[in-house]
Structure 1
Amino acid sequence: MKTLFATALLLASWAQAQTLQPQGAEIVFVSKQMGVPVEGRFKSFKLDRFSFDPKKPEAAQMALTVQMKSAGVGTPEVDAELVKPEWFDVARHPEARFVASQVKAVGAGRYEVQGQFSLKGQTRPLALQLALTQAGGSSTASGSFTLKRSEWQIGSGEWADTSIVANEVLVRFKFPFSGMAPL
């Protein structure tokens, strides 16, 4: 019962002002190259809109824009490849964008978010799982989803072979917020 009460208090706090804290915010992508996980990050993104009332999750508003040129794995040669047409084609498609259209509760502090995801000139439906947690005076929205890079023409040409770079790419995100009432 205590957990249910704590979750209710946490969710109630999301109806208050929500201010994204850049420190600790992250969007990470993990792919496998020849079976070895390779982790990268998008260093520049903006949560354009995030409003959430736990009493009405269906009224939530979420929109995120990612600057694709900010992608990097920490290796200069690979980072230089990611902006090229075979990968993210940053010159023609500088941003990726997700706009939520439906949010529904699936458990204590957990939600399924559906919306439209735009990447490399294509827009498609995308569903992701979102968890809301609180520690101290801050709250965090985190979750993940998996993309198949071949469906988005990411890693085309000589990189299309999924035995070299796996087709599935895990994308994880974490957005800490302040301005929440402590539990």
Structure 2
Amino acid sequence: MNSRLLRFSTLFAMLALGVSAQAGAVEYADVNLNASTISFTYNQTGSRIYGTFSKFAGDLDFDTAHPEAAHASLTIDLASIDAGSDDANTELQKPAWFDTASYPQATFESTRVKDLANDRYLISGNLTLRGLTRGVDVPVLLKAEDGIGIFVGELTLNRNDFRIGEGEWADSVVSNEINIQFRMVAPQR
């Protein structure tokens, strides 16, 4: 009788642990664009410059129980750039930089998500900018707050990989490394 009770207790405990692990899983979807941000920093003639993009669209399907099945995409309206001055904003839309007349958007499409533990993930995907597509790995931290998920990440782009800042701008006046920071907010599903 004791061995039967022990087996029942063990089975019950295993089932309870399985249920609690599933109960802890959270699904996030539908990026809240009003609460989300995309910004960037770079160096120009020794000064740190900060800027933002105000228009973008994001799509997210993320289940913490199955992050490997997650999908994320992002489309950025490059004409919505604010690099701190009207002159800079106008210059960045010209053919030497983003060439927004020919390439109005930058896009990111995830191809794989790896769980790094402790609410940290590595989202791999394809970034397309100026008609060029490059694979990127984006480390992301997920912060859960009051029924929403806040996905915070940063990556460094090499502007030469996308032919950004050609011609007279190809020298070292503007750093080759551009740091992109984002904060994507999504409610629980």
Same fold (TM over 0.5): yes
Paired residue type of 2:68: E
- Among 23, 29, 48, the residue aligned to 1:37: 48
Q: Could you tell me the TM-score, scaled by structure 2's length? A: 0.84
- Among 129, 134, 146, the residue aligned to 1:136: 146
1:25 is aligned to: 36
Residue 174 in structure 1 maps to residue 187 in structure 2 = no
Structure 1 or 2: larger helix share?
A: 2
1:3 is aligned to: none
Whole-angstrom distance in 2 between the partners of 1:18 and 1:116: 20
Larger radius of gyration: 2
| CA deviation map 1:121-162 (0-9, x unaligned) | 101111111110022343201101100111211111111112
Whole-angstrom distance in 2 between the partners of 1:61 and 1:172: 19
Gaps of 5+ in 2: 1-20
CA-atom RMSD, angstroms?
Answer: 1.8
Say which SS state the counterpart of residue 25 (structure 2) adopts: helix
Whole-angstrom distance in 2 between the partners of 1:159 and 1:126: 24
Say which SS state the counterpart of residue 77 (structure 1) adopts: helix
Residue 155 in structure 1 maps to residue 165 in structure 2 = yes
Alpha-carbon distance, 1:111 to partner: 0.3
Say which SS state the counterpart of residue 51 (structure 1) adopts: strand
Q: Please tell me whether the aligned partners of residues 11 and 53 of structure 1 are also in contact (alpha carbons under 8 angstroms).
A: no
Whole-angstrom distance in 1 between the partners of 2:177 and 2:23: 33
2:62 is aligned to: 52
The number of residue pairs the alignment matches comes to: 169
1:79 is aligned to: 89
Identity in percent: 33
Q: Please tell me whether the aligned partners of residues 96 and 120 of structure 1 are also in contact (alpha carbons under 8 angstroms).
A: yes
Whole-angstrom distance in 2 between the partners of 1:98 and 1:121: 12
Say which SS state the counterpart of residue 62 (structure 1) adopts: strand
Q: 1:60 to 1:179 in 2, by over 3 A?
A: closer
Q: 1:56 to 1:179 in 2, by over 3 A?
A: closer
Question: Would you identify which runs of 4 or more consecutive aligned residues in structure 1 move more than 3 Å?
Answer: 8-11
Whole-angstrom distance in 1 between the partners of 2:73 and 2:31: 13
Q: Please tell me whether the aligned partners of residues 72 and 82 of structure 1 are also in contact (alpha carbons under 8 angstroms).
A: no
Say which SS state the counterpart of residue 78 (structure 1) adopts: helix
Q: 1:93 to 1:167 in 2, by over 3 A?
A: same
1:5 is aligned to: none
